Amino acid sequence: MKGLQALFRIKETYIGIVVTIAFQLIFFSVWMTAYDGVNERAENLKIGVISEDAEMGQEVANGLKTSLPFVIEEFTSIKRAEDELNKRHIQMLLHIPKNFTAQIQAGNEGKITYSINQASASMIKSMMESTAKQLTEEINHNIFPLKQEKSFKMFSQKFAQLPLEHNMALQITDSVEATILQIKDRSIDSTIIKTNNAEGFAANFVPLMVIISSFVGAMVMIMQHQQAAQLVQTFVSKWQLFLARQIINIGVAFVLPLLTIALMHLFNISSEVSILTIYLFQAFMFWAFLCLAQVFVMIFGNLGMIFNICALSLQLVTSGVLVPKIMLSDFYNKLASILPATYGADGYYTIIFGGSAENLQQNSNALGIIIAVTLIISSIAVALQKTKNKEITSTTVQ
């Protein structure tokens, strides 16, 4: 009983219990509200369409706007369309070639190409692949009447030029029309191109794994440093302590990537960028996580851990590694833009799968802004703290 009484005299005991309860409440609240109505927001997904065929191809492109529950964006330049796909601004690109109508009229299969960027959440990739297969069947179903109509029209024009009696001509025409209508054929063939593909199922989980391990590590490190700071704050000025903590943060942030790169090589996780790029990006991402976790602890002390748990949950649901950001509600979508995990995950998709180098630069810039803003807020929090340092006397030193 004495041990129990002793523990309950310390506020950290209560904080530990509160944190445990908060963990359950925060994760349930955030995840259930963030993912509520995700399927209904599938209409926010974008499919790019480029038709180089002015006849049947254009009719197919126009029909997609009413048949698909997604945003359809038409392109006139294949290069621009591929660039938008590479930047993950569209989730799939449908390309109808110039000879589409000619191939069908010649009795061959018309070719449609679907391009799906693999540097995306698994949910997006499977959804787009399923849509591509379903779309091909639907186009086949819709294009066949057009094929029948054009075939009969061409026959009628040529047949009308033959010197036959009117009644016999009508009988032959009706017979041919009935025969054409009975023909069942697959007019369209499709090819699915997986751009920025990476070998190995585990590669899909690297962005999520890096986000979780980095931010949880940052949370624990900042919390331990906070407790250490409380032990020495009476002997060191608050600004000396703050500066020392930032030096440690930077040091760890720029050493940790060496371990990350070593682990990636150990588990045969290939990358599409240089080792130096991975090193710098991981360093900036972890530094941003440290600065974010530090803000809450600087402002709220040990209770800041509850806010960090909330930040962990929010970053997991808004980063885009589990569910695409575009399928989240407006609130969570806007929240994602101020959290470092959003840019960390997007950057790691480029690192592992490949894609636009411009994306990686933009993500790094965003992480830099987050670092600067959080450091400013932490500095203000330190400035508002009451000075607790005491002059060290000779007795204390002895």
Provide the pLDDT confidence category of residue 22 given band limits of 50, 70 and 90.
confident
Higher pLDDT, residue 155 or 58: 58
Q: What is the separation of C-alpha 64 from the centre of its chain, rounded to a whole number of angstroms?
A: 25
- Judge whether 394 lies within some domain: no
Among 195, 229, 257, give the residue marking a domain's end. 195
Same domain, yes or no: 225 and 245: yes
Among 160, 176, 195, give the residue marking a domain's end. 195
Same domain, yes or no: 173 and 248: no
- Judge whether 398 lies within some domain: no
β-partners of residue 72 are 47
SS (H, E, C) 43-74: HHCEEEEEECCCCHHHHHHHHHHHHCCCEEEE
Same domain, yes or no: 126 and 219: no
Q: Any idea what the Cα angle at residue 360 is, between residues 354 and 363, rounded to 5°? A: 140
Q: What is the CATH number of the domain that holds 72?
A: 3.40.1710.10
Q: Please, are residues 116 and 125 in contact by the beta-carbon 8 Å criterion?
A: yes
- Give the pLDDT score at 149: 63
- Judge whether 169 lies within some domain: yes
- Judge whether 389 lies within some domain: no
| Predicted structure pTM score | 0.80
Same domain, yes or no: 190 and 225: no
* Whole-angstrom distance, CA of residue 316 vs CA of residue 341: 8
Same domain, yes or no: 366 and 219: yes
User: How confident is the model over 346-381, as pLDDT tens digits?
Assistant: 999 999 998 878 889 999 999 999 999 999 999 999
- Give the pLDDT score at 154: 59
Same domain, yes or no: 366 and 221: yes
Same domain, yes or no: 253 and 167: no
User: How confident is the model over 249-259, as pLDDT tens digits?
Assistant: 999 999 999 99
Same domain, yes or no: 308 and 374: yes
In the chain, the number of structural domains is: 2
Query: What is the radius of gyration, based on Cα positions, of the chain?
Result: 31
Provide the pLDDT confidence category of residue 392 given band limits of 50, 70 and 90.
very low
Same domain, yes or no: 64 and 15: no
User: How confident is the model over 212-267, as pLDDT tens digits?
Assistant: 999 999 999 999 898 888 888 888 889 999 999 999 999 999 999 999 999 988 88
Same domain, yes or no: 104 and 145: yes
- Give the pLDDT score at 251: 94
Same domain, yes or no: 20 and 68: no
Domain that holds residue 285: 2-34+201-384
Same domain, yes or no: 211 and 347: yes
